[in-house]
Structure 1
Amino acid sequence: MSQEVKVPTLGESVTEATIGEWLKQPGEAVAVDEPIASLETDKVAVEVPSPIAGVMGEHKVAVGDTVEVGAVIAIVEEGSAGAAPAKPAAAAPASSSDNGTLEDTVPAQAKIHDPDAAQTLSPAVRRAVLEHGVDPTQIKGTGKDGRLTKEDVVAAAQAKTASPAPAAATPTPAAAAPVGSRNEERVKMTRMRQTIAKRLKGAQDTAALLTTFNDCDMSAVIEAREKYKDVFAKKHDIKLGFMSFFAKAACLALKDIPSVNAQIDGDEIVYFDYVDISVAVSAPNGLVVPVVRDADKKGFAQIEKDIADFGKRAKDGSLTMEDMKGGTFTISNGGVFGGLMSTPIINPPQSAVLGLHRIEDRPVVRNGEIVIRPMMYIALSYDHRLIDGREAVTALKTIKEAIEDPTRMLIDL
C-alpha cells in the first residue's frame, strides 16, 4: 500500500515553495515522521516528513520545481527497504558553462555517494565536492543530523590545500593550464534569495531612507562583561554577549522615541507599546531575521538565550515561519564579519534598523587628553517619511549613552 506525500501548510500567506533538496532517494527506507524533502519558502527551509514507515517511492517533482500547498510531491510505499529496488543516485548536472570539465578532473571518490553513508549530498554540496575534488566521506558534516553543508566542503578543501603534499618519487611534469582560461557558472537564485532581493529593493523604492551615525566607547560594557561573565554563565547557563546590551539600550531609545518603533500602514501610523526586536542572523541560504519578542520585558539572560537559540537553528535549518513573523525594530551586527561602518537597509514594514560594527582601539580625547579606547561605529537607518532627523539622532544618542554608562539601563534613563 502506498501513501502520497503532500506539501504541508507553510504558514500564513505562504502558498507555494520550491523543492530545495531530496533527503531520501527511491528505494531507501524511511521511518514515520522522518524528513524526506526540504522545501525552500520565502523565509525559511521547511522539512517534509514521511506520513508512514516504509520505502521511499517515486519523486513526483524535481529539485528546483515550484509546488503549491497540498500538491503531491512523492510516494512512500509501506514495507521494508528490500521491497523496492533502489535507483542509482544521479550525478548533479554540470552548468552549461562548465563544458563537462568538472567531472573529468575530480577524483573518482568525489563522484560516488557512499552507500553506507547516513546522508545524501544536496545539489549545492555535490557541486562543491566536484569543484574542489574532495572525498565527502572524509568530511564531518555540521548541518542538521550531521549532513554536509557547502561550507564544510569548502573548509575541507582549504585544509587540504594548506597541508603540504608528500614529495613524489618521480616528479611528473604537470600539464600547463590554458592561458587566459576563464569559467562562468549560472546558478538559479533560491526562493529565499529572490525574496531578500525583492524586499530590500522594495524598501529602497518605497521608504525615504536616511542613515545617521555615531561612535560608541565600549569600555564600560567590556569591563562589565569581563567582571561578570563567569558568574553570569554559571547562573544562567549562557554566555554574556554584547547583543543583549544593545537590545536593552535600544528598548530604552524606542520607549523614549515611539516613532522609531512604529510603522506606516497606508495613511496611518501604527505605534506599538511593546518592542519585538528582529535580530539579523546569517544562515546557509541567506540572511534571516528571527524575532526576540517582548525584548523590553526580558532580562539580559533571556535575550542572550533567545539569540543563541536562533543562531543554532538558523545554522541547522530548523527556524520556523513563526520565528520570523512580526518584529518592530531590527538590529544587524556586521561587526562579526569585520565591518567597520555600513548603512543598513530597513526591514519592511519596520521603520528603523540599528547597525553594529567591529570594535577597535582608536585615539579619542577624554578630559583634554588623547587616550586609546575600544570604539564602535553605530548606525541608525530610518524611514524619513515617519521619523524626523531630530528623533533619529536622539534615539541613536540614547543608545550610545546607555552603552557607555550601562547603569542607565538599570534605572531607566
Structure 2
Amino acid sequence: MYAQQVGGEPPRKGRRGLVVGLVIALVALVGGGVTWFAVAQGDSVAAGSANPTEAATNLVNSLGNGDVVGLLSTLAPAEASLFTDPIEEATTELKRLQVLDGNADPAALSGVELKTENLVFDDAAAEKVNDHLTITKLTGGTLTVTADLSKIPLAKDFIDAALSDRDRRELEQGPQTQTIDIGKEVREEGQPVRIATVNVDGEWYPSMLYSIADYALLEEGKPWPQQSIAANGAGSSEDAVKQMLQAALDADVSRVIELLPPDEMAVMHDVGPAIVEAVGREEPSGATVDTLTTETAPITGGTRATVTAVEMTGPNGEKASITKSGDCYEMASEGRTERLCASELAEMAEQEASDKLPPEVRDVLVDLGAGVMEQGLGVVTTEVEGKHYVSPIRTFTEAGMTVLRSLQPEDVKALIRAAN
C-alpha cells in the first residue's frame, strides 16, 4: 500500500494554489461550468485507457487537439456526467432569461482555447494508491490558455446592461494569451503536478475529484487511507433523504459517507476515513427523525426528492414538524404553529435591509421567493445497483437550477441595474 512522504520543509501554500489550479485546468477546466463545453456525446460510452499514464496523456492530448468532446470522454464516466447532465437545462434557462444568446450551443466551446505541447510524465514516480487509484506525475511541457471573451455567447442586451464602457473596451481588445511552463512550476514548487487516475471496469480515466482530494491530503501531510468506507444505500429515494438527515443529526460522518453514491462520489468513500479522523468525535443532537415524506420526480441523472413534511422528536421528547403547502411552509412545535409563505419573504428581506429596497428589487425577491417556495427543497438522489444514495453535487446543481427557474428576464435586468 502506498504511503505519501511526510515531513521536510513545509510546502509553499501560495504556489500550491497555482499547481492545484493547473491540475483542475488539465483535468476538468470545462467541468466547472466557467465556459460552454461539449456534451454532444449522445449515448456513447467514455473511452478509457490501458494504464494510468495513457489516461493522463489522452486527457492532455485532447486539450492539445482542441477536442473538448474528447476531453470529456477521458474523464471517469460517472464523474463526467455530474457536470454534463445539467448543462442542457441550464443553457435553456439562461436563454430564457436573456443572459445567453438564442443561438448559444452547449455542445460548442467558445471563449477559451487550450493548447499543450511537449508534455512529460515521470512513469517511474507514479504512485499506486490501491488497485483502482494511481497518481501520475506530470513534470514538463507547456499549457497555453487563450481567452477571447467576445466569443462567449452572451445576449447583446445582457452585455449592454451588464458591462461598463471599460469592460466593453476589454472585450474589443481581442484574445488574451498566457502560457504556463509546467517544468518551471514543477522546479519552483519542488514536486511534479499530480493527476489522479482511476480504474473503472478495467479501464483508466483521469479524475478531477480524486486529484483535488489528493492535493488536500498532501497539503495536510496525510496519506491516502488504507481502507475505504463502503457504500450502504437506502431502499428508496425518500429513505435515503431521511437517513441522511438522521445521520447528520447524529453527527455520524461515516454514515453520511455511506449514503453517498459509490460511482460519482467514489472519492468520498476512499478518502472517508481521513475525513472521519479530521472531524473527530462530535456530540449528537439527540433529535430523531420520526417521519419524512417527499414528492419525487425524475431529472437528468437522478431523482428530485422534494421534502414535503418532516416530523421530529427532540432530545427531551419535544415534538416538532415542518409541512409544505403550495408556496408556504408551516412549522409546529410545542403547541405553537407558524406559517411562512412566499409573499412574506420580500417583506422580511426589506425589514432586514438597512435601506429601503427599490421597487424593482422587491419584485425580484417576490419572484424568487415564490419560485423557490413553490418548487420546495429538492434533494437529488441516484440509484446504483438497486440502492438509493444522496448526491451532494447534483443537489447543489439543482438548487442553482431552482433559482434560475424562479427568475424572469426582467429580474436579471433589475439586478444588473441595482448593482450599477
Task: State the TM-score, normalized to the length of structure 2.
Answer: 0.30
In terms of fraction of residues, the more helix-rich structure is 2
Task: State the TM-score, normalized to the length of structure 1.
Answer: 0.30
